Amino acid sequence: MADPRRVTAALIVIGNEILSGRTKDANLPYLAEQLNQRGIVLAEARVVRDEQDAIVAAVNACRTTFDYVFTTGGIGPTHDDITAAAVAAAFDRPLIRHPEAESMLRAFYERTGRELTAARLKMADTPEGATLIENRISTAPGFQVENVFVLAGIPSVMQAMFESLAGQLEGGAEVLSRTLSADIPEGTIAAGLQTLQDAFPGLEIGSYPYFSEGRPGASIVVRGIDKAQLDAAVERLRVLMLELGGAPVEGNRAG
């Protein structure tokens, strides 16, 4: 039986290219979905610049607050790839050349006939005592220190790394979700939603507005781990929407 406790995670997205808008982050939605399937709630996400103090502060704040912390980005060969050094500093551990990671990189570059430069060898650096995370796409591994998992920023590589470590994650109860939508303005349904939330404090109730054929509406998402409470809340929401003149339908219409 799944653990009924709420297991939480945080994502730290690292990279000036995200903050500048040059790169659109695709890792957050993938990770949120994958974690949710395992009974882990992605409770917070941060985007931080390529600056050691900023990364250290984010890692230390998140690792003491959440069960799991994932970072993406900043573990490549260039000068601004400083995530490994920053995580080492966060844990007050020396940054070392991981012998297994170095061996894997040397074998990969020898096999492909490409030059293994000093910059590329930098991808074998990890905090002392780190556990490697397999990278079946491009060999250079991610790593884990305690409850912090350091992953690549490239989505295909990040996903491969996550797949290799997912079996280690222990989730709680599965987070269930139901959605009702109706052509009712948020301002009209807001008071009723507050009453509903007060009646079901163990659930998360979110409102997402949309416009359909020029009419305002709201998709109301109810999430939680207790199916009986979830179903009861959705039925009360259905009655509320009908009382307000709406025609509730299952599913999301937020746009």
Mean pLDDT of 21-46: 94
- pLDDT at residue 52, as a whole number: 96
pLDDT in tens, 99-112: 999 999 999 999 99
Three-class SS state of 62 = helix
How many Cβ atoms are within 10 Å of 197's Cβ, its own excluded?
15
- Over residues 126-169, the pLDDT tens digits come to 999 999 999 999 999 999 999 999 999 999 999 999 999 999 99
| All residues at 6 or more sequence positions from 40 whose CB lies less than 8 Å from its CB, including other chains | 7, 8, 9, 67, 68, 169, 171, 172
pLDDT at residue number 175: 82
**What global pTM score does this model have?**
0.85
The pLDDT assigned to 156 comes to 96
User: Is 136 a domain residue?
Assistant: yes
| Mean pLDDT confidence for 112-137 | 95
Residues 59 and 108 in one domain: yes
Among the residue ranges 4-13, 78-87, 226-235, the one predicted with the least confidence is 4-13
Task: Decide if 52 is inside a domain.
Answer: yes
Do residues 159 and 187 both lie within one domain?
Answer: no
- Do 144 and 163 lie in one domain? The reply is yes
